[in-house]
Amino acid sequence: MKIIDDLNSWNSFKKTVKKGSIIGLVPTMGALHDGHAALIKKAQKECSHVVTSIFINPTQFDNSIDFQNYPSNSEKDIQFLKGLGVTLLFKPSEKLMYPYEIKASNYDLNGLDKKLEGALRPGHFQGVATVVDRLFELLEPDRAYFGLKDFQQVEVVKKVASMRKNPLKIVSCRVVREDSGLAKSSRNFRLSAKQKKAAASIFQALKFAEKEIKIFPIPPIALEREMKSIINSSGFLKVEQIEFVFADNLDLIKSQDYPLDHYQRDVQCFVSAFAGDVRLIDNYRIS
């Protein structure tokens, strides 16, 4: 596996790429797991060359402690990638990614950065937009692969890609879950065994919501109450927020009393909860 940390080395590689080849990018922040593996495998099937990047992006953390505590193990990640047959790893420095100052740019994201996660974590999606735009600028991939566990992030990245002079295809991939239903996440490495077991209650609550909507004309206020009970009763989790939105534009469903199945539109449910100081997120199409 070739590890590239500067632009000259990347440009040298690009000169060896045959015309018409498809370059796929799988951006990560390390702490790799099966969710990342699924992205890489899909990219390997669809692209002539695949580059995986590892860069823990400081501008998307609204909490400096969260940034400092983000799990990092370069050697373990390298072995993980080698096991998948990855041939190109891009590990840029902060200086390469932020040559002038470590600061997020300001993108017009049509309000996507203000909703849901964006409302809870001001500035987060501007940081995401900044880092992916920089990766696209440096590497010029034809495709980039992202997981739908971060559903809103995928929409932000699609918007950023569309604004570029040479747009690229953003490929969204399904959520990879543990046998328990817990969404695979780098943050799971910070959970104790008991917390990890309890965290499965998030997906249990999402599946409960899906089932309830099929059976009853249930309004958001009642569904949220039941979902919170399922998660909080695990004993190790505390719900931060549960939101119901229209899947096509992420607009919040404001009426608390109108049954969700009556809209005749796809509804996505977003959940955030804390296990100690570890913040977990998940989402699911419930109707």
Is the pLDDT score of 87 beyond 90? Answer: yes
The single residue of 36, 49, 124, 262 carrying the catalytic annotation is 36
Q: Which two tokens stand for residue 49?
A: 């060359």
- CATH number for region 186-285: 3.30.1300.10
- Asked if 199 contacts 191 with a C-beta cutoff of 8 angstroms, the reply is yes
The residues spanned by each domain of the chain are 2-173, 186-285
Q: Is residue 64 over pLDDT 90? A: no
**pLDDT for residue 162:** 96
CA distance 259 to 213: 8
Percent of the chain with pLDDT over 70: 100
Question: What is the per-residue pLDDT across 223-242, written as a single tens digit (0 to 9) for each?
Answer: 999 999 999 999 999 999 99
Read off the pLDDT of residues 24-58 as tens digits, 9 standing for 90 and up.
999 999 999 999 999 999 999 999 999 999 999 99
Is-contact 223 256, C-beta < 8 A? no
Instruction: Say what angle helices 124-139 and 7-15 make with each other, to 10 degrees.
Output: 50
Nearest to 280 by CA among 250, 246, 236, 244: 236
Q: What is the pLDDT of residue 62?
A: 86
pTM of structure: 0.96
Does the pLDDT at position 277 exceed 90? yes
Whole-angstrom Cα distance, residue 51 to residue 26?
6
Residue 167 in this model has a pLDDT that exceeds 90: no
Nearest to 152 by CA among 243, 41, 59: 243
Give catalytic status of residue 124 as yes or no. no
Can you read off the two tokens belonging to residue 245?
A: 């939105």
Residue 102: pLDDT band (50, 70, 90) is very high
CB atoms < 10 A from the CB of 146, how many?
A: 23
Computed over every residue of the chain, the mean pLDDT equals: 97
Under CATH, which architecture does the 2-173 domain have? 3-Layer(aba) Sandwich (3.40)
**Would you call 231 helix, strand, or coil by DSSP?**
helix
